[in-house]
Amino acid sequence: MRMPSLRRGRKRALAAVLVAGLLVLHALVPNTVGHLGSLVETFLPWLGLAIPALLALALWRRSALALVAVLVPAIAWLALFGGHFLPRSDSRYDLTAVQHNVSDENADPAATVRDLLEIEPDLVALEEVTPEAVAAYAAAFPAEYAHHTVQGTVALWSRFPLAEARAVDIRPAAFGPDWNRGLRATARTPHGDIAVYVAHLPSMRLGPAGLGSDHRDESAGRLAAAISAEPLDRVILLGDLNTATGDRALARLGLTTDDSSFAFSWPARLPVARIDQVMARAVTVTEVRTLPRTGSDHLPVAARLRVAG
């Protein structure tokens, strides 16, 4: 029987160190070529799949060096994401919000709304609400959600009165005037006024040249400028942002969220990334989770928020 050797497996040990480096130093991956940095950050948790593969190769080659090296990315991954598997204690919250890209091909808006209201949210943000479907969605919400606004293809329903509702221009320069995917309203909550933004950033495309995210990043910049200029201290952003919260493209928003769970929301059949987000300023997002599948290609995302200090 061959014993593990310290001489074999140098390439596999190097591969393990590289995986650990990407996990820990992902912010240093440049975005200048194919937006590689954003690509890595969007799918960062999935780098963990390399660890069992490296372990299997180390065992197959009976390399003690590679076996030891596998511990490095394993520790790095657990440090970043191990807490996602720990049981959560219920934390105090004041509001519940639901964010959902309902899909412009959704065949049953009423059923989708019923599913979203199962958790009795205070705020419900929807994207891809086509002009033809607005009436169906509006009719599906009961009287306690009488306060709502629809701007372009994004919408907000609320238990609380909404004031100063308006469209927010997050349209990239290359897009036509019919592209309207941002809104802002003041929610008059029992805890005070909160500026609520709903946004649907452009999709990113993966092609031969890398990650095509220029339009998304431009739109994110316009959204960041609007939020930065927001006079209210308290801000909640609900939206399909087409990237994960770890993506540096969202850092400019100046908002925070709860990253203690994966809450992958897309694609609905086999979710691999959380691209639907609930983020806030001067409001604490204490929990983010997904809800059961609707007639959309996205899973709904629900969040608990603490307003009071």
* Residue 63 vs residues 11, 54, 272: alpha-carbon distances, Å: 11, 11, 32
Q: Examine the fold and report which residue of 60, 85, 110 is the final residue of a domain before the chain moves on.
A: 85
Both 99 and 190 in a single domain?
A: yes
Kindly state the average pLDDT of the residues 125-142. Answer: 98
Both 155 and 258 in a single domain?
A: yes
The C-alpha atoms of residue 101 and residue 122 are separated, in whole angstroms, by: 17
Q: Give the mean pLDDT of the chain.
A: 92
* Cβ–Cβ < 8 Å for 110, 117: no
Both 63 and 117 in a single domain?
A: no
155-306-267 Cα angle (round to 5): 45
- The arrangement of strands across the sheet holding 154-158 comes to 147-151, 154-158, 123-127, 95-101, 301-306, 284-290
Give the count of domains, the chain: 2
Q: Examine the fold and report which residue of 65, 85, 105 is the final residue of a domain before the chain moves on.
A: 85
Q: Tell me whether residue 26 is in a domain.
A: yes
pLDDT at position 197 is 99
The C-alpha atoms of residue 42 and residue 274 are separated, in whole angstroms, by: 8
* Cβ–Cβ < 8 Å for 192, 236: no
pLDDT at position 206 is 63
pLDDT surpasses 80 at 9: no
Query: pLDDT (tens digit, 9 = 90+) per residue, 184-213?
Result: 999 999 999 999 999 999 997 765 555 678
Both 112 and 170 in a single domain?
A: yes
Helix (H) or strand (E) holding 66: helix 64-81
The C-alpha atoms of residue 221 and residue 237 are separated, in whole angstroms, by: 14
Both 257 and 156 in a single domain?
A: yes
* Whether this model's pTM surpasses 0.85: yes
Domain membership of residue 206 as a residue range: 95-306
Query: pLDDT (tens digit, 9 = 90+) per residue, 41-92?
Result: 888 999 999 999 999 998 888 888 889 999 999 999 999 999 888 777 667 8
* Residue 165 vs residues 141, 162, 249: alpha-carbon distances, Å: 19, 7, 26
Both 42 and 172 in a single domain?
A: no
Both 237 and 105 in a single domain?
A: yes
Both 133 and 107 in a single domain?
A: yes
Query: pLDDT (tens digit, 9 = 90+) per residue, 269-288?
Result: 999 999 999 999 999 999 99
